[in-house]
Amino acid sequence: MKCSQTRAIQTHMITYPHLNFHKTLFGGQLMAWLDETAGIAAVRVSRAAIVTASVDHLDFLAPLKASHSVCIDAYVSGVGTRSMEIFAKVIGEDLFTGERYLAGTCFMTFVVPKGASLPERIEPETKEEQFICQGYKARKQARQAKRQESIDLAKNVDLDIPWNE
């Protein structure tokens, strides 16, 4: 399957309900849009119910301002037996001048249920896709190590909350 066959694109206008104290897009709103767009790409490759396993890496590179638009372009950049990695780029646009800028990048992992099948590989076509996909195996190894670290951490997290009365 080609990366382009999994591509999902969403565009939103940044308006006042989406702003933080700095009058730029609230990061949590961007994360919700990223999860939704990347989830569509994940379903396109799996044709099954998926679950977000992790936001592996999210870099906020430039603020997205009020009255600008934000375009999220996501595609599958690697597949395993039950998991897949999705790459998303966040492109801002000043709607009055037409200037576009890279506002962020993100890698996310989604998991399919047992019994669902994924293609053996994802085929990159463009120079960008080739660059992104070539790093999949190294990122997957780093994710697996981080997951074990998270499991070990969870074993030592105290669930008792000291409420102030």
The residue to which tokens 């669902």 are assigned: 116
pLDDT of residue 163: 77
Q: How does pLDDT run across 1-10, given as a tens digit for each residue?
A: 999 999 999 9
Query: Is pTM beyond 0.75 here?
Result: yes
69-93 pLDDT per residue, tens:
999 999 999 999 999 999 999 999 9
The domain covering 3-154 belongs, at the CATH homologous superfamily level, to Hotdog Thioesterase (3.10.129.10)
Evaluate if residue 109 carries a pLDDT over 70: yes
Kindly report the backbone phi and psi dihedral angles of residue 104, in degrees, each rounded to the nearest multiple of 5, phi listed first.
180, 165
Each domain of the chain, given as residue ranges in start order, spans: 3-154
Residue 122 scores a pLDDT above 70: yes
